[in-house]
Amino acid sequence: MPRKDSESAPPQHLPGHPLPGVSYRPETRQRLVPHDVDGKTRLVKEDYTVMVPAPPRDWDQAVTTAVTAVAALLVTVAVVWSVASIGDLLARAVVAPIAYLAACAFALAWVSCMALEWLARYDAARAAGPRTAGNWALVADMAAVATHGYIEEALYVGLAGAAVSAVAKKMWSTVMSHQSRPLPARTATWLQDEEADIAARLALGARTRHLARLQIQAAVYAPAAPPALPQDTGQDTAGQLSPTVRSAVRAVLATLPDVSHDDVLGHLDKLGLDYDETAVLAALDNEQDSQDSRSEAGPTPLFPPTQTVTESVRTALSSGVRDKDSVVSYVHKIHGSGVPRATIVRLFNRELEKTA
pLDDT, tens digit, for every residue of 249-258? 776 666 565 6
User: Where would I find the H helices in the chain?
Assistant: 59-90, 96-119, 124-151, 155-179, 185-221, 243-255, 261-270, 277-294, 309-318, 324-335, 341-355
Long-range contacts of 94-103 (CB under 8 A, 24+ apart): 103/144
**pLDDT for position 238:** 44
**pLDDT for position 43:** 92
Between strands 40-53 and 24-37, the pairing is antiparallel
**CA atoms of 125 and 346, how far apart (whole Å):** 81
Q: Domain ranges for the chain, please list them.
A: 12-53, 59-179, 236-294, 300-356
Q: Write out residues in the chain with pLDDT < 70, as ranges.
A: 1-21, 216, 219-245, 247-248, 251-260, 262, 267, 271-273, 275-277, 287-307, 319, 356
**pLDDT for position 28:** 92
**pLDDT for position 206:** 86
Count of CB atoms situated within 10 Å of the CB of 44: 11
